[in-house]
Amino acid sequence: MYRIGQEEIDAVAKVINSGWAFKIGGPIESETLLFETELKEKMGCENTVLMTSGQAALTSAMIGMGIGPGDEVIVPAYTYISTAMAVVETGAIPIVAEVDETLTLDASDVEKRITKKTKAIAPVHIQGFPCNMDAIMEIAKKYNLMVIEDACQADGGSYKGKRLGTIGDAGAFSFNQFKIISAGEGGALLTDNKQIFERAMIYHDSSAIAFFGNQLNSFTTELFCGTEVRTNNITAAIMRVQLSRLDGILADLRKNKKYIMDALKGFCTFIPSNDIEGDCGTTVAFRFDTAEETDAFAQKVAGVVPINTGKHIFINWDSIVNYRGALHPAKNPFNMPENSRPSYAPEVCPKTLDYLKRTVYISVNPDATKEQLDGQIEAIKAALK
């Protein structure tokens, strides 16, 4: 969470004073529906749904795509476990693919992992780094696959002028504590596809969607049993203010990241970018020749080596690696006869592990002063020596 203040307090107070926090009905206009409308306008897409988390949005999107037992979804070997867990929640199997030097999904490796069971590709804009969406969309078109963008770490970022999360068939944002805009928890689904939207709406709130307001107006999808990851007007009120802050936060992140990188040109190697202008600017990423150099630099600048970030690395997805896709054995996708049990051993994606061992992240503060940035730059230069 980068910026939060009195505006969010006032927005929450308005909801509390109304005595109605439920998303539908009440004496004031729904903050949830207002947020969804404003998010659509900001991102340039046809449909949005505010939910409880980014994983809820990913799962709802995949359910909306009709993904289930017998299907496979290709995910990057470097992403938070939620991406893979969303696949498993549908009854399908996640297949890991390498990331390239940008630390985003390697399109050429994706193509090698496509089988007759492949239903979708899930590119992840990790750390706000845009994926090579041209290459991914080209492969998806070639093999008639769906694309679900995991933009949970990239709220508001873009690729060649189009917002991340709106390029594929559906996208997901996260609004938890550690994201660019935040209500502590929350997420959103984005899609231009009416069928995905209708199915996702029903799935995310199947116990109540038919009974409150006119949420099913114009729907052609029949009701089915899903889950309940509906959110509320307090979360939405906070997110409306946060959304109004988004472009300013991104502008300052990008400005400060550029300032740091410009000052360090010639002193180090940065990882390449698929679109540095669309990059969210949250992170400066350095690349080294050896793991030893990487660790030494990281210790000096309090940087993060991504190989050490636990559940972001496929070999650390314990429940996935050990094929525990559900508590009840009969509901575990890895036990279903339609599905296989792919290997998640380190040798499945060695390039990814190598890149992650030789990369250091330094976070960017959008509110840093010039003096603070200059001090950070000097400390980095000293560490590079």
Is residue 225 classed as helix, strand or coil in its secondary structure? coil
Q: DSSP secondary-structure letter at 185?
A: S
**Torsion angle (degrees, nearest 10) of CA 237, 238, 244, 249:** -170
Cβ-based neighbour number of residue 73 at 10 Å: 27
CA 351/CA 345 separation, integer angstroms: 13
Residues 321 and 84 sit within 8 Å (Cβ to Cβ): no
CA 295/CA 285 separation, integer angstroms: 14
**Among the listed residues 118, 113, 188, 94, the one whose alpha carbon sits nearest the alpha carbon of residue 150:** 188
Q: DSSP secondary-structure letter at 15?
A: H
CA 175/CA 355 separation, integer angstroms: 28
90: left (phi over 0), alpha (psi -120 to 50) or beta: alpha
Residues 170 and 148 sit within 8 Å (Cβ to Cβ): yes
* Given the residues 23, 119, 179, 257, the one annotated as active site: 179
Backbone phi, psi, residue 59, to 5°: -65, -45
State the amino acid at position 198 in one-letter form: E
**Among the listed residues 203, 170, 237, 179, the one whose alpha carbon sits nearest the alpha carbon of residue 56:** 203
Q: How far apart are the first and last CA of the chain?
A: 33
Cβ-based neighbour number of residue 107 at 10 Å: 21
The label of the residue with tokens 């990241």 reads 257
Backbone phi, psi, residue 286, to 5°: -105, 145
What separation in angstroms does the CA of 318 have from each of 97, 141, 315, 339?
17, 33, 7, 19
Catalytic residue list contains 179 = yes
CA 39/CA 45 separation, integer angstroms: 8
Active-site residue list: 179
